[in-house]
Amino acid sequence: MSGQGPQSPRGLFITFEGGDGSGKSTQASALAERLRAAGREVLLTREPGGTEVGLEIRELVLHHTGDIASRAEALLYAADRAHHIATVVRPALDAGTIVVQDRYLDSSVAYQGVGRALGAAEIRELSLWASENLLPDLTVLLDIDETEARQRIDAAHKRFDRLEAQGSEFHATVRTAFLALAEVERDRFLVVDAAASADQLAVEIGDRVDELIRARQAR
Ligand code: TYD
């Protein structure tokens, strides 16, 4: 299904993953700031909702109050991804920009593939088809205990979210799925303990990204 995708882009593609309430959005912003302060061209973006069409899909997939069949949910995330990667992310990477993205295909594999039991391999293939085989250079996984995450979400009093509203068993499954993905692709993943302070995490993540940039330049 995946076939041969376009040439590898020139920029760096860094994604943030983790359960709801893991603080990944804060860390994605902190990394973007840090890189910009060092004079680098950075695009900070997210899925779902990194484009105009994507914002409409996000509204539907996250906030629709009626039922959405699991396969339809998976396809909505894939549709958002296909449009976002083709129209925003790839052009930026081709121009040499560092793309820092809040959630990507590992979220689909963990939430839809494992959480919704649609099959990890099938959902990964679907995402790779949607993105024409774009894999991140680095994926930061903010690992968080599900009970701790729930407390953070409740404290934030956010709007109703279909995925967040799932029970604790679902979120525990998603956490295990993320960790298993990181175990399989150790080179791509940096797993950090989301319970650490935001400053500490920013340093740990920033150091790894600097390392990646140096390795790239040395090639
Ligand atoms: P996000 O915008 O990161 O919300 P939060 O900051 O509250 O974590 O993600 C929205 C939700 O969408 C989140 O519950 C995870 C879910 N999601 C999937 O189920 N599959 C996907 O492919 C993506 C990208 C997100």
Other CB atoms within 10 Å distance of the CB of residue 172: 15
Atom of ligand 1 nearest to the CA of 47: 24
Question: How high is the pLDDT of residue 3?
Answer: 41
Q: Are 89 and 134 in contact (CB under 8 A)?
A: yes
Pocket residues: Cβ below 6 A from ligand 1: 20, 25, 47-48, 62, 77, 102-103, 107-108, 111-112, 161, 163-164
Nearest to 37, CA basis, from 192, 212, 210? 210
Question: How high is the pLDDT of residue 153?
Answer: 79
Pocket test for ligand 1, best of 27, 89, 107 (most atoms within 8 A of CB): 107
CA distance 217 to 193: 29
- CA geometry: angle 70, 87, 34, nearest 5 deg: 95
CA distance 72 to 43: 29
Atom of ligand 1 nearest to the CA of 19: 8
5 CA to centre of ligand 1 in angstroms: 25
Other CB atoms within 10 Å distance of the CB of residue 196: 14
78 CA to centre of ligand 1 in angstroms: 12
Q: Which residues pair with 102 in a beta bridge?
A: 16, 46
Q: What is the pLDDT along the chain (219 residues), one digit of tens a residue?
A: 444 445 566 899 999 999 888 899 999 999 999 999 999 999 999 999 999 999 999 999 999 999 999 999 999 999 999 999 999 999 999 999 999 999 999 999 999 999 999 999 999 999 999 999 999 999 999 999 878 877 887 888 777 788 888 888 999 999 999 999 999 999 999 999 999 999 999 999 999 999 999 998 887
What would the CATH number be for the domain defined by 13-217? 3.40.50.300
Phi-psi label, residue 66: left if phi above 0, alpha if psi -120 to 50, beta otherwise? beta
**Chain centre distance of CA 206:** 17
**Chain centre distance of CA 93:** 16
- CA geometry: angle 75, 78, 80, nearest 5 deg: 110
Q: Are 43 and 98 in contact (CB under 8 A)?
A: yes
Domain ranges of the chain: 13-217
For the record, the structure tokens of 161 come out as: 């979210």
